[in-house]
Amino acid sequence: MAARRQRCGPPVSAFSAFPPLQADTLRRLATRRRWRNGEIVMTCGKVVPGVMTILQGKLRITATTSDGNNVFFRWYLPGEVVGLVSAVDRMPSPVDATALDDCETLEVDRETLLECMQNDAAMGLAVSRILARHAWDVCNLVAARTAHSLTDRVFGVLSHLARVNGAKRADGTWELRISQKDIAEAVGSSRQRVNAELRTLQNAGTIRLGYGHVILYDQGCSTALMHDERELTPRFGY
């Protein structure tokens, strides 16, 4: 089912990764879109029609390997910018983005964005910064996913996802809301093996398991959590 579109008067937080003047330009040019739970917002292998920012809900970012296995990357949250990698260079999207619950986005047509970038240096610079942060995200995720042992992969991916999708607590730990299914798809293993590794990490005092969430204690083992504390939201742009 196609998402519903309408012109909008978006909140001032929309496109907040851009300088105020450029963000206002994008808001004026944007179309509001609403997505139902489970709808495909961005399809792997297709060039995106435009770049969007999330107003409400979240998007699950995944890909499918050649042997049919699903790979979970992360969630995209309100305020984040989606689709820049495909939009800027007209490349097919490397991932799928699926709506969770009912989502709402603002979308700017790809050609309109490219014209803005050509005519406004500040717009181009802002896009470059978002893509640089995306590269940081990908490099950290690759490092975590290629760790030698499954234990290190599980903790590395949890640490990375905590930094980009989690919340820092007052005591310095990080809370990440995530299912064991998503963890298994993120590290390329079975839920049974991931469950065993999570128990190992909990017994070692590195994490604490809760219902639908994980608390990470040992921040020193993760390059993702060692990154400086500057604000990274909105962060990236698959």
Task: Give me the average pLDDT of each 10-residue run along the chain (238 residues).
Answer: 51 77 93 95 94 93 88 90 91 93 93 95 94 88 89 94 90 93 94 96 94 81 43 48
Give the predicted TM-score (pTM) of the model: 0.80
Residue 17: predicted pLDDT: 82
Residue 138: predicted pLDDT: 86
The angle that helices 180-187 and 191-203 make with each other, rounded to 10 degrees, is 100
Residue 224: predicted pLDDT: 42
Q: Which domains does the chain have, with CATH numbers?
A: 4-142 (2.60.120.10), 147-226 (1.10.10.10)
Residue 12: predicted pLDDT: 45
Q: Which two tokens stand for residue 83?
A: 């689709």
Residue 205: predicted pLDDT: 93
Burial label for 94, CB within 10 Å (0-12, 13-18, 19+), is middle
Residue 68: predicted pLDDT: 83
Neighbours of 64 (CB within 10 A): 13
Q: Where does the chain have alpha helices with state H?
A: 20-29, 84-89, 110-119, 121-145, 150-165, 180-187, 191-203, 223-226
Its sign, for the CA torsion 124, 127, 129, 134, is negative
Residue 237: predicted pLDDT: 57
Its sign, for the CA torsion 210, 213, 214, 219, is negative
